[in-house]
């Protein structure tokens, strides 16, 4: 069963498209967005929460980020959904197919023509590889709003993440970005990529940790110029994971009287 996202800045057109999609028995869920920027944020949230999105049905010409630019941005995702354009403009079909669109429908949409597009999505989804959780972790691109524009931030550039109420702040060498998503979901999603929870409100990328410090039973990690405190609850896990990261077999020495032997 498919999960699809309908995107159109005109409310009547969006409601009609969603209605027709929900009538198709091959579709289990239809999500909606009234512009491409919102669609990018929804897609990012779904990826973080481990939710699969099979296809996006969207208009071409919308205020701000249009459908073509949205499709170009999708190439930055490890596993982008398929794209079906639903538009009143017939002059962008060539560009749409060059960008990898699965289909191009003209408004008003005929139900039988939409059903054919859904069939193509179903076939493409069936041919897709194993679920993302079964694959090696890859970089992800997180869409963020910056000055009225949508920017994609690479997960690899994120040094640490802080919870801010219903939002999280992604810290990168270039600056911080607020994104509406729960830290708990991000922790679960990014754990395989080397992110470690060091506090109930802090997640760090082990690749960016340069030092692990202990002082009076308390721990802290150094990331760039920042020293981030580790909560007592998370100290053991942080220590175990980071010690493995920093450990070099050639540096190992036999245990001495002053070095506990844990074997």
Q: What is the pLDDT of residue 250?
A: 44
In order of 205, 214, 223, the CA distances from 196 in angstroms are 6, 17, 13
| Superfamily name with CATH number, domain 153-249 | LytTr DNA-binding domain (2.40.50.1020)
Considering the chain, what is the average pLDDT of its residues?
A: 84
pLDDT-wise least confident of 34-48, 73-87, 107-121, 128-142: 128-142
Could you tell me the sign of the dihedral formed by the alpha carbons of 224, 226, 229, 234, in that order? negative
Q: Is 59 exposed, middle or buried (0-12, 13-18, 19+ CB in 10 A)?
A: buried
Q: Which of 47-61, 122-136, 216-230 has the lowest mean pLDDT?
A: 122-136
**pLDDT value at residue 251:** 44
Residue ranges matching CATH 2.40.50.1020 in the chain: 153-249
Task: Say whether pLDDT at 26 is over 50.
Answer: yes
**Per-residue pLDDT at 246:** 63
**Dihedral class, residue 221 (left if φ above 0, else alpha if ψ from -120 to 50, else beta):** beta
Predicted confidence band of residue 189 (pLDDT cuts 50, 70, 90): confident
3-state helix, strand, coil in the chain (%, to 5): 35, 30, 35
Taking only the tens place, the pLDDT of each residue in 217-237 is 789 999 988 999 999 898 988
Q: Which residue has the tokens 């009225």?
A: 148
Question: Could you tell me the pLDDT band of residue 245, with boundaries at 50, 70 and 90?
Answer: low
CA dist., res. 242 & res. 91, Å (int)? 55
239/221 Cα distance (integer angstroms): 10
The CB density around residue 230, as the number of other CB atoms within 10 Å, is: 25
| pTM of the predicted protein model | 0.60
pLDDT at res. 93: 87
Per-residue model confidence (pLDDT) at position 216: 77
Classify 2-133 by CATH class: alpha beta
Domain limits, CATH 3.40.50.2300, in the chain: 2-133
Is a pLDDT exceeding 70 seen at residue 148?
no
Q: What is the mean pLDDT of residues 227-251?
A: 77
Give the helix ranges, DSSP H, for 100-162. Answer: 111-127
Give me the pLDDT at residue 138, please: 59
Residue 134 reports pLDDT greater than 80: no
């Amino acid at each position: 069963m498919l999960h699809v996202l309908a995107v159109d800045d005109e409310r009547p057109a969006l409601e009609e498209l969603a209605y027709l999609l929900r009538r198709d028995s091959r579709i289990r869920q239809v999500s909606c967005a009234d512009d491409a920027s919102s669609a990018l944020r929804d897609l990012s949230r779904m990826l973080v929460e481990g939710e699969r999105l099979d296809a996006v049905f969207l208009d071409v010409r919308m205020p701000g980020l249009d459908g073509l630019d949205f499709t170009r941005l999708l190439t930055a995702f490890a596993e982008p959904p398929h794209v079906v354009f639903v538009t009143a403009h017939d002059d962008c079909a060539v560009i749409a197919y060059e960008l990898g669109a699965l289909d191009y429908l003209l408004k008003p949409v005929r139900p039988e023509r939409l059903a054919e597009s859904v069939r193509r999505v179903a076939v493409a989804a069936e041919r897709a590889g194993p679920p993302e959780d079964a694959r090696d972790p890859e970089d992800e691109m997180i869409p963020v709003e910056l000055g009225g524009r949508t920017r994609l931030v690479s997960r690899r550039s994120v040094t640490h993440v802080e919870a801010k109420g219903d939002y999280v702040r992604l810290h990168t060498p270039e600056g911080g970005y607020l994104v509406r998503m729960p830290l708990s979901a991000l922790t679960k999603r990014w754990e395989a990529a080397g992110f470690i929870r060091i506090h109930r409100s802090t997640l760090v990328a082990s690749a960016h940790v340069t030092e692990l410090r202990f002082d009076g039973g308390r721990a802290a990690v150094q990331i760039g110029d920042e020293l981030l405190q580790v909560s007592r609850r998370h100290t053991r896990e942080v220590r175990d994971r980071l010690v493995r990261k920093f450990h070099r077999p050639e540096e190992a020495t036999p245990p001495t009287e002053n070095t506990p032997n844990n074997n």
